[in-house]
Structure formats: C-alpha cells, structure tokens
Structure 1
C-alpha cells in the first residue's frame, strides 16, 4: 500500500473513531449548540463529509468549480442521527477505496481550477494528503467541541492508528 492510500485509511479510521465516540453520548449532543468553529457537532461532520465528497468528485474527473457547486450546499445540511453520518461516511469511503484500486499513478497531475485560489497542477497524492489533513484539523475541532459540551473526546492520532492497524494484522 502506498503512503497516500495508507493516510486515507488513517482518515477513515480516525473519522470512524470520533463518530463512534459521539454515538456513545446522548443523541441530543449531536445537535447541541456550542460556541466554537461550527455551531454543532452535526455541522462539523456535515462540513467534513461535503469536502470529502467534493474531493472524490474532483479525483474522478469533475471540475473543482462543478464539484463545489454540487457539494457545498450540503455543507450546512445536517442529518438527524449519528447513524446517518456513519452510513454516509462508509458509503463514501467505499467509493474512495474502489478508486484507489484503479489508480496506478498517484503522482499523475490534474489541473485544479480552484475558484478561491486559482489554477495549478496538483498530483492525486497531494489531493489525498490534503483531504487527510483537512479531516485531522476538523476532528480536532470536534474534540474541542466535545470538551466544551462537557464530554471527553477520544484519541484519534495517527500514532494510535499505527498500533490498532498493526494489531488487526497480527
């Protein structure tokens, strides 16, 4: 497995880990308002999902402006339960994993026409690493939000992933 794909596996694991933690809490926590980066945990999860979906569309041939137009309206859309988020994340991660199965050259570049930053040639690997980094940033937001709401978060660092994924292979 190549490094970008390994990092994507970490991204999936870490997102599932934090969603499982939220599922352990009273259901109302998902929509409880907090003064933070996002008004609720649901909004943070929706943002992460919309961005993951947008990058998947870009990786599979949709222009970035079109992918943004498709996905960003979902950025503010929230779902009623953690189960809905978990199901959507599983479906999207399955699509990514199928995409990885067909990729032979992650150093291949595409012209990324970012309406906010301009155009540049970007490798598929760079996009994946950005996606993972974006998720890490927002899982940190979610951890802070959980603490502000009076709940402990859960460790979802890459180093924990090393040990959990190596134990699964043993």
Structure 2
C-alpha cells in the first residue's frame, strides 16, 4: 500500500509542477535544492541509491543529488519507472523478505543496515517530506498544491475496495 501511495502522490505532484508556466519549475527559490525539479530529482536519486542497495549492486552516485537535474519530462518518466519497479518488487516479497537486512554504505560515508521493510518506509517518508517542500514552492508560484496525504489516498483508492 505504501509504495502505491508514493506513486499516486508523485503523480499528483508532477502533474501540478508540469502544469506551471514555462520556467516556473526551475525558477530559483529559497529551498535546499534551489527549485522544484532539483528537489524532485533528489527524491529520485535516493530511490535509485536504495534500489541498488536492495539489488546488492554498486551505484555511481557521489552525492544525494546530481549537479544538474534532468528535464522535468525525463525526470517524470524515470520516476514512473522507478515507482513501478518498487511496486513490483514489494508485491513479490514475503514476510521473511520484509525482515531481510540489507547492508550498505552511505553516500556520505559510514556503514548502514536496514531491513527491506525499513528501506521502503524510509523512501515513502523521504518522498513525502520533499513533496512538502515542492508544495511550499507551488504556493510561492501562486498554485495550491494537490491534497496528496495518505488519508486521501486511502479514502479514494483503498477503502472503495472494502
């Protein structure tokens, strides 16, 4: 449910950002990553880093973001692919898989260890946190961000099936 929520909320956020006037998504703003696209790219990079950890492969990142973000359209395509990858992966897991510990090295140095379940929870929380930054930047652009909270997702997408 959580990875599906993340994909849904990403879709709402990207739709809002893509509907902005030309250049608004890249306009410099007072925020950690400088603009909306670079903030969304940071989320993608962290998702990709943990995808490599889950696969037991090395990634090529030396930071938790790239120096320059891709185009918004290219980033949205990559995020959709990443979200599908996580949904398919988590759908294949058993209870034992959720508890499996993954050992990795943090990008900034130091060793880490998390269960696969903890990794998924981290990625969902991390994306929510940074979508909040994008929501603030949307307000700065005179656009009301979409309601992409978990209770809205549960109401509109999960509770109907019950």
The total of aligned residue pairs comes to 160
On the 8 A contact 2:99/2:116 being kept in 1, the answer is yes
On the 8 A contact 1:44/1:138 being kept in 2, the answer is yes
What TM-score does the superposition give when structure 2 sets the normalisation length?
0.86
Could you tell me which runs of 5 or more consecutive residues in structure 1 were left unpaired when the two chains were aligned: 1-5
Structure that is richer in helix per residue: 1
On the 8 A contact 1:33/1:40 being kept in 2, the answer is yes
Could you tell me which runs of 5 or more consecutive residues in structure 2 were left unpaired when the two chains were aligned: none
* Alignment partner of 1:102 is 2:86: no
- Runs of 4+ with deviation above 3 angstroms: 69-74, 115-118, 167-170
Cα drift, residue 18 of structure 1:
0.7
What TM-score does the superposition give when structure 1 sets the normalisation length?
0.82
The answer to which of 51-60 and 93-102 deviates more is 93-102
Cα drift, residue 120 of structure 1:
4.3
Q: 1:75 aligns with which of 66, 76, 80?
A: 66
2: CA distance between counterparts of 1:8 and 1:160? 15
RMSD: 2.2
* Alignment partner of 1:148 is 2:140: yes
